[in-house]
Structure 1
Amino acid sequence: ILYYEVLDIPLPELQFLKTLKVAFHHATKEEVVIHSIRLPKNSTIADVIIDLKTKVDLSSPTAELRVLEVFYHKIYKIFPLHEKIENINDQYWTLRAEEVPEEEKNPSQHDRLIHVYHFTKDPLQNQQIQNFGDPFFLAICEGETLAEVKGRIQRKLQVPDEEFSKRRDVYGAWEQYLGLEHTDTAPKRAYTANQNRHTHEKPVRIYN
């Protein structure tokens, strides 16, 4: 059996390019769109964002984008704009692009940007914590109460009062993140080696 791939450009040109799969999360829409970004290997994350802006629907023409590294539903890195794409691995880590919310711009010295994760406890594995869904950042302002923070999380997730009241928040002080404990109601998918290549809570569309 002979397997082959038909290239859309000559092989010598392709060898000098790097292709990255970037999942774009719109600021207001539920759908996640995966884009293939093909650029010269010496390009940077700033170049990825410039290319991505020509392909996505932004909430405003002046919207700022950032690219994150997500693995098993936890955020591990915000890529600096100057980072070269040549050594970025998108095979095991999800590259996620999103708009930077207004409340996260120009923070004061007392504000803090924390991670918020979804998790559930598996009763069959000694209540072992399992993350799922889309992690996100939340800007915590000086003087905010927990009730105010929870209200902003509910509005961000667009969850009805009845459903949100069933969720518990647990602050993971050892990693400085806020965890939302609730049931994973998304349809189960077959396990793959790279199971977080797409979200478990939102529809996904793939663009070439």
Structure 2
Amino acid sequence: MSEQRAPLYGLLLSGGASQRMRQDKAALAYRGEPQLLRAWRVLKAVTERTYLSVRDSQRDDPLRAGLPQIVDSYDAIGPVAGILSAQHLHPEAAWLVLACDLPLLDSGTLRRLIDARDPHAAATAFTSSHDGLPEPLCAIWEPSSHALLLQRYQDGSYCPRKALIQSAIKLLPAPGDALDNVNTPEEREAMQQRLESPA
């Protein structure tokens, strides 16, 4: 039998406060569909099980209530709370963690990540096209990453990117602009024009 891989589950992060956007980024629609639902479809197509990461206050939100959820069980600011909560609930799984605000992401990008997955590394991630550092919010976090993430959390360090930098990971070239996200109303308007103008 070949090497044993942990099953691959999907975790769609939707718990962000969206302070710069001044509204819930997950609900922003591109081409007529909330980006949370679009990201959910793309992630669900490539993982064995898929969950939505939410804060407790979001669990009954109409956009999120109909999807399988993992409610944050760690008091932390940012995505590390969602990742740790998922790892705690299913320690046997590797997690393809995905931000919900990537309107240019496609299934081909996720399949490239999965095809390149190294189960012996703590994670498999793309390089950010903006700064050359690992991109933690479109990455596969193996079960072995949990110990370092938890230790950093207990030490008050909540940055998943820094956890990747400190780990033995497989790093892939940046996938063009597929991981560009939208954080401000101005960026959203530019993205709307880009996606909805005729080719």
Same topology, TM > 0.5: no
Structure having the higher helix fraction is 2
Structure (1/2) with the larger strand percentage? 1
Q: Computing the radius of gyration over CA atoms, which structure comes out larger, 1 or 2?
A: 1
